[in-house]
Amino acid sequence: MSLCCQQDDRRDQVRRMKGLNGLDYVEVLDDQKTIHAYFLGKLPPELEKNKPGIEQYLRLEGGQRITDIQIEDVDPVVNPDPERDDFLVIKLDKYGDFSFYTLRLVGVANVDPRYDQVDFSFKVNCPSDLDCAPACTCEPTVFSEPEINYLAKDYQSFRQLILDRLSILIPEWKERHVPDIGIMLVEVLAYTGDYLSYYQDAVATEAYIDTARQRISVRRHARLVDYLLHEGCNARAWVCIEVDADIELDVSDISFITSTEDAVVQARNILKWEDLANVQADSYEVFEPLVADRFVRIKLLEAHNQINFYTFGEDLCCLETGSTSATLLDCWIVTQEQKPYEAPTQAKELSDSENAKEPDAYEIVKEGQKNSKDQSAYKTAPKPNYKKERALKLKPGDVLIFEEVIGPITGLPADADPMRRHAVRITSVTPGEDKLR
């Protein structure tokens, strides 16, 4: 989960909580084969002593050109000062390239899921003439757009336009001789632009949707307004259903219709086919659920109506562009397991030995029949067991719709952009539990 947060309080909480640990940062030494992995406080019990097989708790991943870097030796360094953090001295068989690598803890208990890994680069100490990376910000970067002359339509105007642009991007390059490779590429691009301009003029009829005669032209016009004209496929759309309780529906028994002109019908969310008997059939469209197996019942859960992000107690967070994972907020549902009812048994005197065998049973005697032989006795069922389970039942293959519900600037629901919706399909689900919350 790639969160860009302006305020990070979780690191101090993990450090203060006894029994919880995690990776803080990694230092790369000058030989680039030795790294120091610092922890949030003292080392976990699995890593605080130098013993054979300690390397199995660490794993190094990543790399583009140089991969499969093996950990040869791990030496724990315990600082006697309780206020100072401990670290591990890790020896590697080779150093990595300029890409980022990930040091991950494997099989270590009581590690915070937010700090079970840390990213670093082997070339962090190498000299560079590049500027520092920009600070973490949730605002998108606005790039300056080049000024383009849209009146360029022939070879000479395209050639001059490309040369003017190269003079801005590469001011040191001032070659203008025809045999130069740069001039040759410019003229090839100018010729291609001139050919495309001629082709555009030749098919001017296809440039407008009212006069277009070819299907491919209509498809391209529709794509400009974010509509895909599919070849021979019925219309489809994502439908979000909210329920008041968990239910299961048969696919063959449900359908979806568009809004109708009948005000009585529009006021209801759930209809029967009898309710549409007096409504004109051409006033609405009918859609059927698109599922892989029509014999499998659809399960609708109340907990799936709205799912919030979990930010580990941090504030002012946003999901970065290009993120492929996120942490969602779940909750526990406690249910009581009921055992079947036991019929009343014939009354009898329970001895002390029998009472000892039945610690959860007792005898109920009707008033006035305490000394009678046909009094009724009942055995109560054992104390009920309580079972808890997660409210969310997400699994790979499910589809989540990310939606903007409040304005990013004002924080008001009325300022939310309804166009900011995106459907994503889940590929994996990893359940977890935050011990700090």
Q: Is residue 63 part of a domain?
A: yes
The pLDDT score that the predictor gives to residue 400 is 92
| Residue stretches of the chain with pLDDT short of 70 | 1-4, 6, 128-137, 262-267, 337-384
- Count of CB atoms situated within 10 Å of the CB of 419: 7
The pLDDT score that the predictor gives to residue 212 is 86
Task: Measure the CA dihedral 394/400/402/406, to 10°.
Answer: -60
The pLDDT score that the predictor gives to residue 285 is 84
The pLDDT score that the predictor gives to residue 415 is 92
Range of the structural domain that residue 87 is part of:
10-121
Q: Is residue 166 part of a domain?
A: no
Q: Is residue 221 part of a domain?
A: no
Residues 252 and 316 in one domain: no
Residues 264 and 330 in one domain: no
- Cα separation of 118 and 105, whole Å? 9
Choose among 419, 401, 417: nearest CA to 409: 417
Residues 285 and 416 in one domain: no
Kindly calculate the radius of gyration of the chain based on its CA atoms and give it in whole angstroms. 35
Residues 324 and 255 in one domain: no
The pLDDT score that the predictor gives to residue 351 is 47
Choose among 194, 223, 154: nearest CA to 212: 223
Q: Is residue 161 part of a domain?
A: no
Please work out, in degrees rounded to the nearest 5, the angle formed at the alpha carbon of residue 398 by the alpha carbons of 394 and 403: 90
Residues 389 and 284 in one domain: no
Q: Is residue 139 part of a domain?
A: no
- Cα separation of 115 and 434, whole Å? 12
The pLDDT score that the predictor gives to residue 251 is 87
The pLDDT score that the predictor gives to residue 48 is 85
Choose among 259, 249, 334, 262: nearest CA to 295: 249
Residues 406 and 294 in one domain: no
Which two three-digit tokens encode residue 377?
């006795």
CATH of the domain at 31: 2.60.40.1220
- Per DSSP, the three-state class of 13 is helix
The pLDDT score that the predictor gives to residue 338 is 60
Terminal alpha carbon distance of the chain: 19
Residues 391 and 428 in one domain: yes
Last residue in a domain, options 121, 151, 176: 121
Q: Is residue 195 part of a domain?
A: no
- The separation between CA 233 and the C-alpha centre of its own chain, rounded to angstroms, equals 30
The pLDDT score that the predictor gives to residue 1 is 54
Residues 293 and 400 in one domain: no
The pLDDT score that the predictor gives to residue 37 is 92
Residues in the chain, overall count: 437
- Cα separation of 210 and 206, whole Å? 9
Q: Is residue 282 part of a domain?
A: yes
Residues 276 and 393 in one domain: no
User: What one-letter code names the amino acid at 278?
Assistant: N
The pLDDT score that the predictor gives to residue 88 is 92
Q: Is residue 129 part of a domain?
A: no
The pLDDT score that the predictor gives to residue 39 is 92
Last residue in a domain, options 60, 88, 121: 121
Residues 65 and 34 in one domain: yes
Count of domains forming the chain: 3
The DSSP annotation for 317-382 comes to: --BPTT-----B---EEEEEEPPPPPPPEEP-PPPHHHHHH-TT------TT-TT-TT-EE-PPPP
Contact 394, 431 (CB under 8 A): no
For 79-137, write each residue's pLDDT tens digit.
888 888 889 999 999 989 988 999 999 988 989 888 899 999 988 877 766 666 666 66
The DSSP annotation for 204-255 comes to: GGGGSTTT--SHHHHHHHHHHTT----SS-----------SS-EEE-GGG--
Last residue in a domain, options 121, 145, 173: 121
Choose among 331, 408, 320: nearest CA to 134: 320
Residues 265 and 333 in one domain: no
Residues 297 and 388 in one domain: no
The pLDDT score that the predictor gives to residue 200 is 81
